[in-house]
Amino acid sequence: MTKITLSKHPVFADKLILKIPLDRADWTAKIRHINGLYWNSRFNVWVVAYTNTIVQQLKTLFSMNISIQLEYTSKRRCIPKKKPIKLNIKYPDELIKLEEKLMLHRYSINTIKSYKSCFRKFLVYCKARHPKDVSFKDTRQFLLKHIRSHNLSSSMQNQLVNAIKFYYESVLGRDRVTYNLERPKARKKLPYVLTEDEVSTLLSSVDNLKHRCILFTIYSAGLRLSEVTNLQLTDIMSNQQCIFVRDAKGTKDRYTLLSNKLLHYLRQYYKEYRPNYWLFEGMYGGAYSKRAVQNVLKKALINSRIKKPVTVHTLRHSFATHLLERGVDLRYIQHLLGHNSSKTTEIYTHISMQKMVKLSSPLDFLSL
């Protein structure tokens, strides 16, 4: 039986600790794709957030053959367990049904949280009525109410629509057309990008070897934040000169570029830090946190004195734009970024300044 404990250790406060025997590689293979799971080499355990979704996912993976118990490994600096939130809804079971269906569809943890939050608002709006008895007109009124009174953004409106549609179509199995709710007109916003000189200045301002390797990897391979934190040592394929990106957005795997400069720094980094499983590991082992990567970039921006509103994703946008400016075919860039549609990648044709400066305004041709 797989032993899973809820630890009160100061390092793993309110986390699930998975203690799997070393000879059970098949069990280890089962859990590798659980979102947020990481290996802690210091304590030789798998660690993951303690949520009902994770518990149910583990029970599904192991066919209920697991033992979950509370374990107090330290009384120092213990973080008190949060009191359960009381839901002011009449039919909480419908929220559980939604969560279970999302799990069976293998949606990400973040998506499940978002859908549950949106659907909870809908259940509060329903009050004493069962959601299956709520009419299409009432559903529209719910959306209108939030748009008017809560200054709802377009993206949040989309999330509400997605959560409601998922419940009626996937949980209740109703016809898709019946609940084809209106969606907002999306704003076509161009992303910020850095010039090559700005990227050079930014990366040169980082002295810490690990931090430099992290930012180098993001920019040189066009990675998302979650993708760089989930990289494993075996994903750096130096012989093939590529990086393997596993289980990325949309549960897709892909290959992307491995820079020679990056490989040089990564070899130095490996000799100094000796990571065990993940390419970039935290202070206490396990995968490097997303927040830590964001802090690394924030510090680099301060040191480089770049005033643009730069995020980790800006480096990914800059990667694509700079490839396009150097004449790389848009189809290759689409593959490297992992985009389903070429239309998503075509946005970089609108922000390539290098191509724009070669154009002349019609005013320049007038004899004035």
Burial of 3 (0-12, 13-18, 19+ CB in 10 A): middle
Q: Are residues 16 and 115 in the same domain?
A: no
* Residue 165 DSSP SS3: helix
Would you state the pLDDT for residue 11?
Answer: 58
CATH of the domain at 115: 1.10.150.130
- Considering the domain boundaries, does residue 361 fall inside one? no
In this structure, the answer to whether residues 97 and 65 fall within a common structural domain is no
Tens-digit pLDDT profile for residues 98-137: 988 888 888 877 888 899 998 998 888 888 888 888 888 8
Decide if 362 is inside a domain: no
pLDDT at 315: 92
The answer to whether residue 79 is domain-embedded is no
**Pair 122, 206 in one domain:** no
**Does 144 or 22 have the greater pLDDT score?**
144
| Residue 41, in any domain of the structure | yes
**CATH of residue 213:** 1.10.443.10
Picking from 147, 179, 211, the residue at the C-terminal end of a domain is 179
pLDDT at 78: 39
Token code pair at residue 75 = 């009384």
Q: Which domain holds residue 34?
A: 2-71
**Does 14 or 360 have the greater pLDDT score?**
14
In this prediction, residue 298 has a pLDDT band, given cuts at 50, 70 and 90, of very high
Does 188 fall in a domain? no
Q: Is residue 152 part of a domain?
A: yes
320 pLDDT tier (thresholds 50, 70, 90) = confident
> Into how many domains does the chain fold?
3
Least confident of 55-69, 293-307, 323-337: 55-69
CA–CA dist 146, 158 (Å, integer): 12
Q: How far apart are CA 112 and CA 166, in angstroms?
A: 11
pLDDT of residue 73: 41
Q: Which of 35-49, 151-165, 254-268, 331-345 has the highest mean predicted lDDT (pLDDT)?
A: 254-268
In angstroms, the CA 325 to CA 177 distance is 43
Cα–Cα distance for residue pair 303/202, rounded to 1 Å: 8
Average pLDDT for 250-262: 86
Would you tell me the crossing angle of helices 330-337 and 312-325 to the nearest 10 degrees? 160
Which pLDDT tens digit goes with each residue over 29-83? 777 777 777 777 666 777 777 777 777 777 777 765 655 554 444 333 333 444 4
In 3D, which of 13, 119, 154, 15 has the Cα closest to residue 75?
Answer: 13
| pLDDT tens digits, 196-230 | 899 999 999 999 999 999 999 999 999 999 899 98
C-beta neighbour count of 307 within 10 angstroms: 7
- Residues 216, 259: contact at Cβ < 8 Å? yes
Q: Check residue 14 and give its pLDDT.
A: 63
- Residue 217 has what pLDDT? 93
| Residue 86 counted as domain residue | no
Place of tokens 């973080």: 79
Q: How far apart are CA 333 and CA 355, in angstroms?
A: 17
- Do 243 and 341 belong together in one domain? yes
Alpha helix positions (H), the chain: 25-31, 52-61, 92-104, 109-126, 136-149, 154-166, 196-204, 209-221, 225-229, 260-273, 290-304, 312-325, 330-337, 342-345, 353-356
Are 278 and 253 part of one and the same domain?
yes
Spatial separation of the C-alpha atoms in residues 39 and 285, rounded to whole Å: 7
What CA–CA distance (Å, rounded) separates 111 from 91? 21
Q: Up-side HSE of residue 53: CA atoms within 13 Å toward CB? A: 25
Report how far residue 263's alpha carbon sits from residue 220's, in angstroms, rounded to the nearest whole number: 10
β-strands 2-7, 66-71: how paired? Answer: parallel
Residue 306: pLDDT above 80? yes
- pLDDT exceeds cutoff 70 at 351: no
Mean pLDDT across the stretch 256-266? Answer: 91
What is the average pLDDT across 292-311?
Answer: 91
Which of left, alpha, beta for 222 (phi over 0: left; psi -120 to 50: alpha)? left
Residues, the chain, total? 368
**Active site (catalytic) residues:** 224, 249, 313, 316, 339, 348
- What does pLDDT average to over the chain? 78
What confidence tier does 184 reach under pLDDT thresholds 50, 70, 90? Answer: low
Percent of the chain residues topping a pLDDT of 70: 75
d(CA 242, CA 231): 13
CATH classification at residue 17:
3.40.1170
Q: What was the pLDDT predicted at 5?
A: 59
Q: Are residues 351 and 253 in the same domain?
A: yes
Residue 82, in any domain of the structure: no
Question: Given its phi and psi angles, is residue 92 left (phi above 0), alpha (psi -120 to 50 degrees) or beta?
Answer: alpha
Q: At what angle do helices 92-104 and 154-166 cross, to 10 degrees?
A: 90
